Amino acid sequence: MPVTEAAILETLRAVQDPDLHRDIVSLGFVKDIEIAGDIVRFKIELTTPACPVKDLLQEQAHDLVAAMDGVASVEVEMTAQVRQRNPEPQDLIPGVRQCIAIASGKGGVGKSTVTVNLAIALAQQGAKVGILDADVYGPSIPLMMGLTEERPLTRNSKIMPIERFGVATMSLGNLLEDGQAVLWRGPMVAATVKQLLEDVMWGDLDYLLVDLPPGTGDAPMSLAQLVPLAGVVIVATPHNVAANIAGKSAQLFRRLNAPVLGVVENMATMVCEGCGSEQRVFAGMPGATLAEILDTAFLGSVPLDPMVSEAADRGVPSIIAHPERTQAEAFRRIAGQLAAQTSILAEAATRDLVGEPA
């Protein structure tokens, strides 16, 4: 008896997305089924190209259909379409599907380093990614991305972001003269954040990562009020002071109706180059504990590695300069977890919109 599309779909209901807790048929992931005799082809369209279980889903779908009677060969193509955030009538970044803020309670925790390396990790998975450096007082993204000598071009009265390492980047540091200090009060900071969103031609992006200044000042509040955020990532080191202030940052965003996607712990451990053993560097609150207190996901931990700062100082992010090291693998893993969290929230929002049961 020849295989049918209905039979294939019924078989694929056994494939569950472990993050969204539903089968891939109910989620609408299965597309373009083709049956040519005993050969079956179809696509699985995920909600992010950085899905951490992409290979597992592909393998499960392939094996289940291949085991069906009348099927001799199966071809499964994996694609992705990031869910569009709910745009507002006066959307400043209409082509951006997910806008994610990277925040910290205090300075010195490596927030910009995390932003840069997560952006590149997402881009390496096939996502279209941008970085907005909203740290107007101390923009460091140009240095870390090797863009200190670059000045953006304009087109049709719009500023064109600067492309580097597959990521579209814009920073106030690329618009100021070298060494020029910013002496602005709150309203000017808010206006600048709005301009960097509105006047830059971001185009079609899956993710725009916004590197915020530390703390709970004007820039974080302005961002949350100007665009519908997919969520916020809190970066912290294992210090009780850092954890305490990070908690206040999370509370701020929640009061502004911006969900907290998770916690990234930075510089928690150090790997001995000689023996390979791993030791915790600081004795403060671990990132997993902070995430539990904040009732959010623990996205992962990045080890302390001298190569990270060395690479950043010469304008090459460590995930590019040292892709084989433990820190690079950590960034890739955290990028997958971040993408998964945005997908979970987007799926929940879609269900609420259409009235589906959770």
pTM, whole model, 2 decimals?
0.89
Residue ranges per structural domain of the chain: 5-80, 96-354
The CATH classification of domain 96-354, taken from the options 3.40.50.300, 3.30.70.1450, 3.30.479.30, 3.20.20.105: 3.40.50.300
Q: Where are the alpha helices (DSSP H) in 200-304?
A: 218-226, 240-255, 287-293
E-only strand ranges, 66-182: 73-80, 96-103, 129-133, 154-155, 158-159, 162-164, 167-171
Supply the pLDDT for residue 263: 95
Supply the pLDDT for residue 76: 97
Higher pLDDT, 244 or 141: 141
Does the domain spanning 5-80 belong to CATH 3.40.50.620? Answer: no
Domains 5-80 and 96-354 share a fold: no
Cβ-based neighbours of 316, under 8 Å, separated by 6 or more: 146
pLDDT tens digits, one per residue of 296-329: 999 999 998 888 888 888 999 999 999 999 899 9
Q: Where are the alpha helices (DSSP H) in 75-209?
A: 111-124, 141-144, 186-198
Least confident interval from 15-24, 124-133, 265-274: 265-274
Cβ atoms < 10 Å from Cβ of 18: 10
pLDDT tens digits, one per residue of 152-188: 899 988 999 999 999 999 998 887 666 555 555 556 7
Q: How large is the average pLDDT for residues 263-277?
A: 79
Supply the pLDDT for residue 265: 94
**pLDDT over 70 at 331, yes or no:** yes
**pLDDT over 90 at 244, yes or no:** no
